[in-house]
Amino acid sequence: MRVATSVSETRTFVKSARSNAKGVGLVPTMGAFHQGHLALMRRATSEQDVVVVSLFVNPTQFAPGEDYRGYPRNFEADARLAESEGVDLIFAPPPEEMYGEVDLTSVRVSKLTEPLCGTHREGHFDGVTTVCAKLFNIVQPDYAYFGEKDYQQLQVIRQMVADLKMPLSIVPVATVREEDGLALSSRNRYLNDEQRAAAPTLYRALQKGAQAVRQGASAIAAEGAVRTELDTQPLLVPQYVSALDPVTLTPPAADGPPMLLAAAAHLGKARLIDNILVEEV
Amino acid sequence: MRVATSVSETRTFVKSARSNAKGVGLVPTMGAFHQGHLALMRRATSEQDVVVVSLFVNPTQFAPGEDYRGYPRNFEADARLAESEGVDLIFAPPPEEMYGEVDLTSVRVSKLTEPLCGTHREGHFDGVTTVCAKLFNIVQPDYAYFGEKDYQQLQVIRQMVADLKMPLSIVPVATVREEDGLALSSRNRYLNDEQRAAAPTLYRALQKGAQAVRQGASAIAAEGAVRTELDTQPLLVPQYVSALDPVTLTPPAADGPPMLLAAAAHLGKARLIDNILVEEV
C-alpha cells in the first residue's frame, strides 16, 4: 500500500494504476476507522481493481463549536487497517493541500440539505459537498463508496453527482452495527460505559417507528413512536426525530412506506445519528 | 465533424477519441460564432488532438430581464464554421440534458464574482460556474479555452478549477477586435449603423485609461480618464468603469501597473463590455 499526501502524487498513482486496470474505487473517510469503514473498503476492493482511501478530517464540514480539534486521529492504526483490507493507496493530505491560501469556491446542494442534520449543523453539507468535489476531481474514481448511516449525506452526494454530471457512480453500503444495534461511528469512542449502555436505545426507537410505518402509520404517528421510546432513556437528549420521504427528504404525501426514519441525539459529549429506510413491500 | 446532443453520446465519443490521442480540448460557447470564437477553436485545434465545442445558450447565466430569449441562435451556420475549423465534435444539448427535472446543485465562487459584471448581473457567475462544472465533467477535457474579453469570467473559472482541483488547464485567448477596435461579441449584431459607429469609443476610452496607468496614474485617475472619453459619445451609457488589481479584482494597493481596466456600457439594446490588462513593464 502506498501513502500519498499531495494531489500530484495521488494523480500520478491513479493514472498509472488505471492504465492496467478497469475500475478505480474511492472510499472518502475522516479516519478513525471502525468496522463500518472496513466494510466500505471491503466492498470497494471486491469490486474494483484499484482502491484509494482518502483520509482527511475536513475542517469545513464541522460547524462552529463542534469537535474538529478533538476528532479522533490515529494515522498509524488506520494505515494498518487499510492495508489489511487490500487498499492500494491512502491519500492523506494536510489541510493546505486541499484548501489554497485563497480558496473561494463552494459546491452547494439546496433543499436536501435543509432538514435533519442540515438544520442543526450550520455549513456542514456545504463543507461535505465541496470537499467531495475536490476528492472526486483529485482521484477521478469510477465509483465512490458511502455508508447508509449518513443517509442524508448519501442523498446529497448522489444529487451533486447527478446534477453536475460527475463521471462516477455512488455506491451505498449498509450500516454496520454492534450486536446490540448501535450503529458504528468514530464518535462512539466519546461514550463512557454508562452512556454506551444507553446508546442502543436510539436504534431501538427507530425500529419502533419503522414497525408503526409498516403498519400504515402516518409520519407524525411514526415520529411519536420513536420519541416515546427515546424518552425511556433520560441520558439520550433528542435533537431531531423525523419521518420523511426518502427521496425528497420532505414530509411524505402518504401514510406507510416508503418512509425514512431518522434521528439525532446527544449522549454525553457525543452526538449520535441513525436512520431506518422503510421501503415499500 | 460529429454532432451530439446527449451527455452519454459525448462521453462515448471523447472516450474513444482519447484512447488514440493525447490531448482533449474544450471550447465552451453559447453559439452565434464570430471570429473570436473561431480564434478559440483555431488555438484549440492547433494544440489538441481532439477538440469539442459545446454550444449551449445557458439559461441560468442570464439575469432576470436579460436577453435569454432573444440571444442569437443559428445552429446550421455555427456547425459549418466549427467544421471548417477542424472541430471534432459539437456538443449541443437541449436544456433538459443539462438541467434535470430536480436540479439542486450550484457551484459558487465568492469575492471575484462581486465587482464589475457581478454587481449588475444577478446570479450570472453562479450560472457560469455551475454550467462550466457540468461541461467539464461531461467532456473531461485536458484544456479548456476562454476569451480574455470576458476577463472576470476567465478569472472566476480559473479560481474554480484551482479550488476544486479540477483535472484540466484553462487557456486564455486574446480578444479579437474589429479594425476600429471594437471587441467582437455575439451581441454586436444588436447594433444599428449609428450605434455601431459609436461602439469603438468603449475601447478607445479604455486605451486612454491604460495610457494614464502606464504613466503612473492611480486607479481613480485612470477611471476618470476612461469616463471622460466615454462622455464624448452620448449614445454610450456607462454601467461601470473600474480600475482593479488584475488578480484579486479589488482596488489596487499602488498606482500604476499592473492594473485591469474594465468597463461596461449600454448602447441601444446591446450591453457591451471590454477590458485592457495593463501589465507591469
A264: region left, alpha or beta (phi > 0 left; psi from -120 to 50 alpha):
beta
Active site residue A37: yes
Q: Distance (Å, rounded) from C-alpha B232 to C-alpha B258?
A: 27
Farthest-apart Cα atoms in chain A, separation: 57
Q: List Cβ neighbours of A177 (8 Å cut-off, separation of 6 or more).
A: A183, A184, A203
**Contact criterion met (CB < 8 Å) for A112 and B104:** yes
Placement of cell 446529497 in the chain? A156
Please report which confidence band the pLDDT of residue B280 belongs to, taking 50, 70 and 90 as the band edges.
confident
Residue-wise pLDDT tens digits, A138-167: 999 999 999 999 999 999 999 999 999 999
Choose the closest CB to A137 out of B111, B130, B164.
Answer: B164
Q: What is the pTM of this model?
A: 0.96
The 10 Å CB-count burial string (b at 16+, else e) for B14-24 is beebbeeeeeb
Q: Is B162 on the interface with A (CB under 8 A)?
A: yes
Residue of B nearest to A134 (CA): B164
**Domains of chain A, earliest start first:** 2-173 (3.40.50.620), 186-278 (3.30.1300.10)
Residue of A nearest to B102 (CA): A163
A226: region left, alpha or beta (phi > 0 left; psi from -120 to 50 alpha):
alpha
Placement of cell 417507528 in the chain? A209
Which whole-number Å values give the CA distances from B73 to A133, B31, B35, B41, B78, in the listed order?
Answer: 33, 7, 16, 18, 9
Q: Distance (Å, rounded) from C-alpha B270 to C-alpha B237?
A: 11
DSSP H helix total and E strand total for chain A: 10, 10
In 3-state terms chain A splits into helix, strand, coil percentages (rounded to 5) of: 40, 20, 35
Choose the closest CB to A104 out of B104, B137, B163.
Answer: B163
Angle at A52 between CA B18 and CA A39, to 5 degrees: 130
Residue-wise pLDDT tens digits, A187-244: 999 999 999 999 999 999 999 999 999 999 999 999 999 999 999 999 999 999 999 9
> Which of residues B169 and A2 earns the better pLDDT score?
B169
Q: Which amino acid is at B31?
A: G
- Side-chain half-sphere exposure of A204, counting CA atoms within 13 A: 14
C-alpha cell at B230: 466615454
Count CB pairs under 8 A between chains A and B. Answer: 80
Which of the following is catalytic: A34, A37, A120, A124?
A37
**Shortest Cα distance, chain A CAs vs residue B248, angstroms:** 10
Q: Which stretches of A30-130 are assigned E, i.e. beta strand?
A: 50-55, 89-91, 105-109
Q: Is the pLDDT of residue B20 over 70?
A: no
Looking at beta carbons, which residues of chain A come within 8 Å of B100? 162-163
Q: Read off the pLDDT of each residue in B48-59 and give the average, rounded to a whole number.
A: 96
Three-state SS sequence of A169-235: EEEEECCCECCCCCECCHHHHHCCHHHHHHCCHHHHHHHHHHHHHHCCCCHHHHHHHHHHHHCCCCC
Q: Distance (Å, rounded) from C-alpha A201 to C-alpha A229?
A: 7
Which whole-number Å values give the CA distances from B101 to A156, A163, B46, B98, in the listed order?
Answer: 16, 10, 38, 10
C-alpha cell at A170: 455512488
C-alpha cell at A258: 416508503
What confidence score (pLDDT) does residue B34 get?
Answer: 97
Residue-wise pLDDT tens digits, A86-119: 999 999 999 999 999 999 999 999 999 999 999 9
Using alpha carbons, select from A135, A126, A55 the residue that is nearest to residue A89: A55
Question: Could you give the ipTM of this predicted complex?
Answer: 0.94
Using alpha carbons, select from B119, B122, B144, B120 the residue that is nearest to residue B133: B144
Q: How far apart are the first and last CA of chain B?
A: 43
Q: Distance (Å, rounded) from C-alpha B58 to C-alpha B125?
A: 12
Q: List Cβ neighbours of A246 (8 Å cut-off, separation of 6 or more).
A: A258, A259, A260, A277, A279
Interhelix angle B151-163/B124-139, rounded to 10 degrees, is 60
Choose the closest CB to A140 out of B111, B134, B167.
Answer: B167
What confidence score (pLDDT) does residue A17 get?
Answer: 78
Q: Is the peptide bond before B258 cis (omega within 30 degrees of 0)?
A: yes
As beta bridge partners, residue B277 has B260
What confidence score (pLDDT) does residue B21 get?
Answer: 59
Q: Is B20 on the interface with A (CB under 8 A)?
A: no
Residue-wise pLDDT tens digits, B198-236: 999 999 999 999 999 999 999 999 999 999 999 999 999
Q: List Cβ neighbours of A70 (8 Å cut-off, separation of 6 or more).
A: none
**Shortest Cα distance, chain B CAs vs residue A220, angstroms:** 26
Which whole-number Å values give the CA distances from B58 to A3, B94, B97, in the listed order?
Answer: 42, 10, 11
